[in-house]
Amino acid sequence: MKNTRREFLQKVGVSAVALQLASVTGWASEKQTAQAYDGPVLRVAILGLGNYAARVADAMQGCTKAKLVGLISGTPAKIEKWSAKYNIPAKNCYNYGNFDQIKSNPDIDAVYVITPNGTHHDFIIRTAKAGKHAISEKPMAISVKQGEAMIAACKQAGVKLLVGYRMHFEPKTLEVIRMRKEGEFGKILFFQGLCGFKIGDPKQWRLNKELAGGGSMMDIGIYAINGARYMTGEEPVWVTAQETKTDPVKFKEGVDETIQFQFGFPSGATASCLSTYNMNGLDKFFLNGEHGYAEMQPSTNYGPIMGHTNQGELTQPVTVHQTVQMDEFAEIIFHDKQPPVPVDGHEAVKDLKIISAIYEAAKTGKKVSMSV
């Protein structure tokens, strides 16, 4: 049976789908009734029409500030199916070969690259050269060097580079961040992030080093890395890590199965995290401070996110993450809105630097000092 991160994240929240939809519908209706939007709409083309792209496309049907207007794929059958489903005109449909012609299309503002990690670099640079705003799924690239080149290309072209950090807009997550910023937990002492699932099909791209850039760390571990940073509000100054591999046939050289990793922060706070492709049901964040705590489980799946603090249950509204993300991206691109947690290329490169340090620490067995 084939399992992917996206299928896992979807299944974790499946028992509460009815609750989620009811909450989202009610909240969205209330929001729209309160204030109708009449500003500019971000016109987006999706590049790479896989499972997660389908989730984004469906979610965008609920956006008020962003709209799906274009498709880019190497599979003609997908273009035909998607263009019919989402009413996309033929003039806004491209393949990977003629994609650069998007430069001459005034009806597309941005391209959202949702392809295997190892292909993000080239597609984002082509997007920038075409003069379109660039959105990349995470991880943004498979190396720091690639990530920095993507930032440079977008800067030179005068376009924005954003990354699909959907949790940076999730209400319960933002409430915990607010509480931490306002000192409600006191001095932060410790963070724990557990992220993992048992991966299926050994032939999938996530187990191909060239396409994935690694293994579980690049796919699911990045949630714990990024979570450790936004939950504590600090950047790590040292990293230690230990790798465990039980199936070297499935998890070939350079494709990690399970890595435990630890961070130290400037304040003295520490973090202990786990990234794995060999254990199901791991989706938990825990933040501890001198005067309180926050626990979230599920912490990063598609919803509903659930959690509580020492003050009680987190009751912020359930949202469709990708809908909120795309509307917020429109605000960032058109109005230079600054989100509570950054979603730009520099934020992504910080994660890539930490991933590199984790791999180095796991390989050498030594504590790696770092600065992002």
Angle (CA) 90 94 99, round 5°: 145
Q: What are the angstrom distances between the C-alpha of 177 and each of 182, 349, 350, 356? A: 9, 21, 19, 26
Q: In residues, how long is the chain?
A: 372
- For residue 112, the tally of other CB atoms under 10 A from its CB is 28
Residues 141, 297: Cα–Cα separation, whole Å? 28
Is residue 90 exposed (0-12), middle (13-18) or buried (19+ Cβ within 10 Å)? exposed
Distance CA 341, CA 359 (A): 25
| Cα-trace Rg, the chain | 20
What residues are labeled active site?
138, 223
Using alpha carbons, list the distances in angstroms from residue 361 to 120, 130, 146, 278.
26, 39, 21, 21
CA 38/CA 182 separation, integer angstroms: 34
Bridge-based pairing of strands 188-196 and 282-289 is: antiparallel
56 sits in which H/E element: helix 51-60
| DSSP code, position 96 | T
**Dihedral angle computed from the Cα positions of residues 202, 203, 209 and 215, in that order, rounded to the nearest 10 degrees:** -30
Name, in order, each residue with C-beta under 8 angstroms of 158's C-beta and a sequence gap of 6 or more: 131
Q: In what order do the strands lie in the sheet with 66-72?
A: 93-94, 66-72, 42-47, 110-113, 133-136, 161-163
* Residue 277 near residue 216, CB atoms below 8 Å: yes
